[in-house]
Amino acid sequence: MNSFLDIDIPNLEIVNYGPAVPQPPVASTVSQFDRYQHIFDKTKILITFSDLLNHKFTKKYVLLWHMNYVNYCGDPEPASRQSYNDVIKKISKQNPDKKFFIIDEIAVLNIDQKEFPNVQVWHRKFQFNLQVLFEDEVDISLHRKHWFVSILGRADPFRTDFFNWILENQFQENNLISYGCYDAVNRTGCPVERCRDNYLASGGLEKRKNIIPFNNFGSVPMDLDGRLQIDQKTNHALINIVFETFANKEHVFFTEKTYKCLLQGHYPLIIGGLGSMSKLASLGFEIPDYINWHLWDHLPMDEANYGKMDIIKKQLRDLFGKYKIEDIALNYYEIAVKNKQRLIHFEDLNKQEEKEICRWLLTGCEQLSNPGLQYLYN
């Protein structure tokens, strides 16, 4: 993984930004965070993307990338697309004698190479660093008992609004719902009273405060280890309604929430950055239009007049009223199996892509014919 870090040539500087977050192992076969630290010893590690503005680049060629590896899972900065691009444009103009190669994992950079000829961007597709999810064997259910599962973790106004809508329509009676309402920045747990305060602060109702944290099928996964594990009790749900991290941002970013539903054979309904469903389809996953996700996938969460969530709620009501869950479940079964295999195949796809990244980088650094490095792309 990240084989391009093995490109050791005198005129290449490798700069990565993060920070990466160590994910706890759920089995002895999963490697610990510090076992990979030596891989990054020869790189310059910056905390944020904007720190690039104050960094003094020392070599002719510069590789910029977001710190990650197996068992690393760093969230991108919740910054705007414009801020990312402004940083690159500034360092490009400040360093006209340097050539920058950037691995963009969240499709946030849009650099015109005619205007900035010393910048090249690789929009990475198949990076996957959550092999920890494959530790448990998961069987895909042919028959489904519940229309949907929705595991709402951190407190968020959009999640609170959706949770309230679920209870107003009594959808919690026949579906699997969890809402932890823990702190947005705290990954290690949250006291119950704090969760209830978070619920109220994000638009919750006083009459429902005391049911927070809520879970109608088990316990609320409050710590990071618990949230990484797959809850087998949700296997019999058909749809997994996922509110992704940074759902109201411009960039698309998938976490374990999206990948777990593919492993379990759920129909993914991903509420995330603009184009999240389209991005998932572009990675080779099949997403039938049992609900017409094409209508809202491009819409922002905070549309002033008629937003994404209004359309989704209406589509869900129509789906539950017009169709039988068994009919759709049987139709989706083979697709679910294929989607799971596609995800498991990501490691091979990632290796193939990394070979092309190495070829791209070595070509740009005028080292493609270096016999000591050709193993990286052959």
The model carries a pTM of: 0.90
Q: Cis omega before residue 213 (within 30°)?
A: yes
Give Cα 107 distance to the centre of its chain: 12
Q: What pLDDT, in 10s, does the model give residues 270-323?
A: 999 999 999 999 999 999 999 999 999 999 887 767 789 999 999 999 999 999
More confident residue, 208 or 37: 208
DSSP state of 13: E
Question: Residue 288 has what pLDDT?
Answer: 97
Highest mean pLDDT among 66-75, 189-198, 245-254, 301-310 belongs to 189-198
pLDDT at 40: 62
Provide the pLDDT confidence category of residue 73 given band limits of 50, 70 and 90. Answer: low
123 versus 246: the higher-pLDDT residue is 123
Which amino acid type is present at position 322?
A: K
The whole-number average pLDDT for the span 134-158 is 93
Q: Lowest mean pLDDT: which of 18-27, 259-268, 340-349, 351-360? A: 18-27
The DSSP string of 274-290 is TTHHHHHHHTT-----S
Kindly provide the b/e burial profile for residues 39-70, where b requires at least 16 CB atoms within 10 angstroms of the residue's own CB.
ebeeebebeebbebeebebeeebbbbbbbbbb
Over pLDDT 70: what percentage of the chain? 89
DSSP state of 370: -
29 band by pLDDT with thresholds 50, 70 and 90? very low
- What rounded mean pLDDT belongs to the chain? 89
Q: How does residue 20 score in pLDDT terms, banded at 50, 70 and 90?
A: low
pLDDT at 1 exceeding the cut of 90: no
Q: Which residue type does 123 have? A: H
Q: What is the mean pLDDT of residues 103-132?
A: 91
- pLDDT reported for residue 244: 94
Ranges 22-26, 151-155, 243-247, 327-331: which has the least confidence:
22-26
Please say if the pLDDT value at position 69 is more than 70: no
For the cut 90, the answer to whether the pLDDT of residue 218 exceeds it is: no
How far apart are the C-alpha atoms of 142 and 146, rounded to whole Å? 12
In the predicted structure, residue 140 carries a pLDDT above the cut 90: yes
Q: What is the mean predicted confidence (pLDDT) over 99-117?
A: 94
Mean pLDDT across the stretch 344-371?
A: 96
- Whether the pLDDT of residue 98 is over 60: the answer is yes
Q: What pLDDT score does 184 carry?
A: 76
Model confidence over 237-270: pLDDT tens digits?
999 999 998 788 888 989 889 999 999 999 999 9
Burial environment of residue 137 by CB neighbours within 10 A (0 to 12, 13 to 18, 19 or more)? exposed
Here the tokens at position 180 are 């932890």
Tokens of 79: 């910054």
C-alpha distance across the termini of the chain, in Å: 16
Q: What is the mean pLDDT of residues 109-128?
A: 94
Task: Determine the pLDDT at residue 131.
Answer: 81
Tokens of 174: 């026949």
231 pLDDT exceeds 50? yes
* pLDDT of the residue at 68: 73
Return the pLDDT at 181: 94
**The pLDDT value given to residue 26:** 41
Mean of the pLDDT values across residues 350-355?
Answer: 94
Q: Interhelix angle for 325-344 vs 256-263, to 10°?
A: 110
Average pLDDT over residues 221-246: 85
State how far the Cα of 167 lies from the Cα of 197, in Å rounded to an integer.
19
Pairing of strands 214-215, 176-182: antiparallel
